[in-house]
Structure formats: structure tokens, C-alpha cells
Amino acid sequence: MANYLLVHGAWHGAWCWRRVLPLLTQAGHRVHAVTLTGVGERAHLLSPAIDLETHITDVMAAMDAEEMDDVVLVVHSYAGMLGTAVADRRLERLKHLVYLDAVLPKPGESWSSTHASATRNARIAAAQADPLFGFPAPDASVFGLEAEDHAWVQRRQTPHPGKPYTQVLNFDPKRVASVPRTFVNCTRPPLATIDISRLRMRDPAFWDGAWLPGSQVVEMATGHDPMVSDPQGLAKILMALDPA
């Protein structure tokens, strides 16, 4: 039995894993999906006080509350920031870190650091104009979703807290790199805001050479939300990482 802790990306909630959870549990694994403060069913908590530390604490608190060790931590998109922080702070609790089409930060970077200036400026401006300091989700079509999948995600997305977008993360890359890591690269269509991370996942110089040893890349020919568009394929990849 493996212990999977699933962390969604921006604008989503634990709801996005609905099609993956039964596939993992029916195979005998233990699974818990986190909803970050201010989004999903916790959207009523959205406020200017939510920051990057709030979301890092959400993940660590879930790990503690569920009494999980030897965790396969799966972090989607924005949550790459959170998985990196948790690996730095809770190294002994993790068995594998999965960056699911996720942000791969350098120390001292924010989530917004690798985005085009137009994207960054638009999101910051939207948050500043919102009394709750959130910025809206893009249309779900950018995740490669169509028809019923598009409609489901489109109506479930909620504004994302603004502070975590620009707050920097400091961490020890060699410490994080001591955890076995997999980058799941979603290629059809590729989401533009992940492009820099796609370059980094194969860069022998990334994290001063610490990234590539102990890491692997797995390709998925689907869009940015594979838990929606290809749950069976994603579950198969996750279970292959830890066949226990």
C-alpha cells in the first residue's frame, strides 16, 4: 500500500481529483486530496491574509492530520511551489515527489517569476482590484479541455489568492533533490506558463546540477489537467512510481 497526498493547482480544489481517487483506492492505496485555503470548497475563506506560507502549511497539516509517512506527494501546476517547500521542510516524510505539469522554482523565485510579463501584470492588477485580493481563473480551454470536461472545470474554478503569486520561496535545492522526483509533462496542448519548467526538467545545470540525478520525466499526451482528461493514464503513472 502506498500513501498518496494529492495537491491541486491554482483555481482548483480537491474536487479535481474525483476521477483519480477511486482508481488508486480500489488498487489498495491510501489517498488524501488537499484543498488549499481560499479555493474550492474553502473559497469562502479567500482573503488578503492568505499567503504562500498558508498553503505550505495546508499541505503539511494534511500530512500530519492523516498521519502519513512514506508519502508520494503529487503537486499540480502552482503547487510545485508547495511540494518543493514541503520536501525542504519534511524530507523524512516523503518517499517520492511528483511534479504534475508543475512549477519548478529556483531558490528566491516566486510562482510568477517564470511567467511572461503580460500574464504577470494582468494577474497582479486583477488581485489588487479585488477586495479579497484574488485573481480569476482562465477559461478551462487552455487546459486542453472540451465539452463536458470543460464545462465541469469551468464551473468549479474559483479565484486564486493573490499573495502566493508573487511571494518568493527560499529552499535548499540539494535537500529537495535528495527525494526521488518525477516530472509528468503534459504535452497536448502544453500550457504556456509551464514552458520554463519544461526546459528546467531536462537541464543538467538546474539547481546547480542537483536536479537531474534522482529525477525522471514521464510524458502524457494530454492537457494540463490530466486528472480530468486522462485519469486512468495518470493513475497508472502514479502507481508505477510506487508499486507497493
Radius of gyration of the chain measured on its C-alpha atoms: 16
**Mean pLDDT, residues 82-111:** 98
Domains of the chain, each with CATH number or no CATH: 3-241 (3.40.50.1820)
Burial class of residue 197 in the structure, from the number of CB atoms within 10 Å of its CB (0-12 exposed, 13-18 middle, 19+ buried): buried
Residue 206 confidence (pLDDT)? 98
Confidence of residue 133 (pLDDT cuts 50, 70, 90): very high
**Mean pLDDT, residues 109-116:** 97
Bond before 189 cis per omega within 30 degrees: yes
Q: Which of the residues 47, 77, 110, 229 is marked catalytic?
A: 77
Active site residue 178: no
Residue 242 confidence (pLDDT)? 63
Confidence of residue 89 (pLDDT cuts 50, 70, 90): very high
pLDDT-above-70 percentage for the chain: 99
Residue 218 confidence (pLDDT)? 98
**Mean pLDDT, residues 29-58:** 98
- Measured distance between the N- and C-terminal CA atoms of the chain, rounded to whole angstroms: 5
**Mean pLDDT, residues 81-105:** 98
Residue 234 confidence (pLDDT)? 98
